[in-house]
Amino acid sequence: MNDPRLTAQRTREFIRSEVLPIDDAHDGDIEAAGGDLVRVKLQAAARSHGIFAPHAPTEFGGGGLGMVDRAAVFEEAGYSLFGPLALNIAAPDEGNMHLLDHVATPDQRREFLAPLARGEIRSGFAMTEPSPGAGSDPSALMTVAQRSSGGGWLINGRKRFITGADGAGFFIVMARTAGTPGDPGHGATMFLVPAHAEGVQVGRHVHTQDRSMVGGHCEMTFTDVEVPDSAILGEPDLGFRYAQVRLGPARMTHVMRWLGAARRAHETAVRVVAERRAFGERLVDLGMMQQMIADSEIDLAATRSLLLKACAVLDDGGRGSEETSIAKVFAGESLCRVADRAQQMCGGLGVSADLPVARIARELRPFRIYDGPSEVHRYSIAKRAARRIVGVQQ
């Protein structure tokens, strides 16, 4: 799996032959398709094609691809809403693998990263909380971890919108170990918490418009969950700093996957308008239709360019805060435009389950909120610009 071009080609063939039929048969609804059962089936098929976990460490059977090299592979996988799950590159597991690979101790790698990379378990990243807790502003974190009488830590708090929580094997839990809600940048610690630990409760599924994420988006409660010092991922009180290891790359892999989905919507629409006729002409020959096609081609190309620029910075060891924020905002909005145009081009079929276009639009829309709303990223981009251009300190 060392040649990313060959891996991308194999992924393209695999997605079209084995994944798209299941995706299409169930309108992109992973639970309707079988949830974890179909995940296991698809991942076994991906292994047989030599394309499983292309990003994971080679020591655990992965391909070890860097950010730039994985972009085309992830895009091809994202052509189907179930494709990332099949290759074990879906959120949140992919981002958690990246974080564990860079931060985990040798023992933590064996206990958590190894089975996750092999697809033996799933995971969750438990940071988001009900208001007034952590959301777009992580410094509002209210879940707390305090020293226990046994020398470890007791975690208490509530979480919400925890993707993949139902059926996960473990969670990376962000909890406050110092300071008070509103303290920026300090006082949080990440803990590795097995799902079977006493006091861990996965509650109701928050029903959202997207349906392709196995395990749903759930509420969780942590009640006197006791973990040892060895459960700390990174260092105490530096959880926000270590989270940056995950967040930038995870945003870019989201872009990769959704780029593939938007491309499918666009290509589907172009095929429809090339076949249909109205007003004595093929729809594809009408000027208004050509403008929509061209605008979507531009949006896809610009998204890919910004993505690769950000990935190059990450591969070179940079944080890429600016580049990943810009790419994430642009992609979230441009790919929604692509899907929306595709629906318009397809007319009534574009809002039906007869084509994949409507479900792709349905799944894409939350990306403008997930992993930081566009408005929060714009806030950060503007602050950095003010400091760089006129030295304004904020």
In terms of domains, do 233 and 271 share one?
no
Residue 118 belongs to a domain? no
pLDDT over 70 percentage in the chain: 98
pLDDT of residue 186 exceeding 90: no
The pTM (predicted TM-score) of the whole model is 0.95
In terms of domains, do 269 and 225 share one?
no
In terms of domains, do 287 and 333 share one?
yes
In terms of domains, do 166 and 199 share one?
yes
Residue 104 belongs to a domain? no
In terms of domains, do 259 and 382 share one?
yes
Instruction: Label residue 185 by pLDDT band (50, 70, 90).
Output: low
Residue 287 lies in domain: 241-390
Percent helix, strand, coil in the chain (nearest 5)? Answer: 55, 15, 30
**Positive or negative torsion for Cα 71, 384, 172, 163:** negative
pLDDT of residue 87 exceeding 70: yes
In terms of domains, do 273 and 313 share one?
yes
CATH number at residue 245: 1.20.140.10
Over range 328-357, report the average pLDDT: 98
| Per-residue CA distances from 338 to 76, 301, 302 (Å) | 17, 11, 12
Residue 207 belongs to a domain? yes
Instruction: Label residue 183 by pLDDT band (50, 70, 90).
Output: confident
In terms of domains, do 251 and 372 share one?
yes
Return the structure tokens found at 384: 């950095």
| Rounded distance between C-alpha atoms, residue 98 and residue 108, angstroms | 13
Q: Could you say which of 178, 203, 237 is where a domain stops?
A: 237
Mean per-residue pLDDT of the chain: 96
| Rounded distance between C-alpha atoms, residue 262 and residue 273, angstroms | 17
Instruction: Label residue 385 by pLDDT band (50, 70, 90).
Output: very high
| Per-residue CA distances from 164 to 27, 45, 351, 363 (Å) | 19, 21, 28, 15
pLDDT of residue 334 exceeding 80: yes
Over range 51-78, report the average pLDDT: 97
Instruction: Label residue 182 by pLDDT band (50, 70, 90).
Output: confident
Residue 115 belongs to a domain? no
pLDDT tens for each residue of 155-166 = 999 999 999 999
φ/ψ (deg, to 5) at 60: -110, 20
Angle, CA 186 vertex, CA 379 and CA 104 arms, to 5° = 105
Q: Quote the pLDDT of residue 1.
A: 62
Residue 96 belongs to a domain? no
CATH number at residue 193: 2.40.110.10
Q: Could you say which of 43, 67, 90 is where a domain stops?
A: 90
Over range 80-105, report the average pLDDT: 98
In terms of domains, do 282 and 265 share one?
yes
* HSE value, Cβ hemisphere, 13 Å, CA-based, for 186: 4
Instruction: Label residue 171 by pLDDT band (50, 70, 90).
Output: very high
In terms of domains, do 230 and 154 share one?
yes
In terms of domains, do 141 and 50 share one?
no
pLDDT tens for each residue of 244-284 = 999 999 999 999 999 999 999 999 999 999 999 988 899 99
Residue 103 belongs to a domain? no
CATH number at residue 9: 1.10.540.10
pLDDT of residue 394 exceeding 60: no
In terms of domains, do 291 and 385 share one?
yes
- What is the number of domains present in the chain? 3
φ/ψ (deg, to 5) at 193: -125, 115
Return the structure tokens found at 195: 């799902």
